[in-house]
Amino acid sequence: MLGVGTAAYQIEGAYNEGGRGASIWDTYTGANTVGMPGSVCKEAPCPLNSVMSDKGATGNVANNHYHKYKEDVAMMKDLGLKYYRFSVAWPRIVPTGHMKDGVNKEGIQFYHDLIDELINSGITPLITIYHWDLPQGLLDIGFEKALPACDPQYQQGWYDCTWGEDGTPIPTGMKSTVAKEFLAYAELLLQEYGDKVKAWATFNEAWTFTALASGYGKAPSQQPYMDVDIWPKVAGHNVILAHLMVVMKFREMQKSGALTPEHKVFITNNQDWREPLTEKKEDIAAAHYLIEGGLGWFCDPIFGVDGVHDYPKSMRKTLKYLPKFSEEEMKLLKENKPDAFGLNHYGTSFVAYDNGKYTTTHAGLVQGKSSWLFRAAWGYRKLLNWVKNHYGEYPIWGTEAGWSDGLEDPLAGKQDSGRLTYYQTYLLESLNAIKEDGVKMESFMAWSLMDNFEWEMGYAERFGCMWNEFLWDKDPNAPSADTPIYNAYSGKVEGKCGDDCARQRVAPGPQRPKDQTRHMRNSMLRLIETWGSPTMITGPMQDDFFQAATDQNICFGHGTYETSDGIEECSPEALSTKRVVPA
Residues designated catalytic: 205, 400
Q: Quote helix, strand, coil % in the chain, to nearest 5.
A: 35, 20, 45
Strand partners, 563: 566
DSSP annotation of 308: B
CA distance 291 to 286: 9
First to last CA, the chain: 25
- Which residue type does 144 have? E
List, in sequence order, the alpha helices (H) in 481-581.
524-531, 545-551
Tell me whether the omega of the peptide bond preceding residue 224 falls within 30 degrees of 0, making it cis. Answer: yes
Sheet architecture: strand order including 466-469: 466-469, 517-520, 555-556
Q: Distance of alpha carbon 525 from its chain centroid, rounded?
A: 24
Cis peptide before 171 (omega within 30 of 0): no
Within 13 Å, how many C-alpha atoms sit on residue 264's CB side?
15
Question: Cα–Cα distances in Å, from 122 out to 11, 117, 399, 537, 539?
Answer: 22, 9, 20, 16, 21
**CA quadruple 275, 280, 286, 291: dihedral, nearest 10:** 40
CA distances from 556 to 429, 433, 534 (A): 32, 36, 14
Q: Under 8 Å CB-to-CB from 134, ≥6 apart: which residues? A: 23, 24, 90, 97, 157, 158, 178, 219, 220
Half-sphere exposure of 326 toward its Cβ, with a 13 Å CA cutoff? 10
Q: What's the half-sphere exposure (Cβ side, CA atoms, 13 Å) at 582?
A: 7
HSE at residue 526, side-chain half, CA atoms within 13 A, is 22
Query: What's the rounded Cα separation, in Å, for the pair 311 and 61?
Result: 40
SS3 413: helix
Contacts of 556 (CB under 8 A, 6+ apart): 71, 74, 75, 78, 466, 517, 518, 519, 570, 580, 581, 583
- Residue 169's SS3 state is strand
Rounded to whole angstroms, the Cα distance separating 304 from 68 reads: 42
Q: How many CB atoms lie within 10 A of CB 352?
A: 17
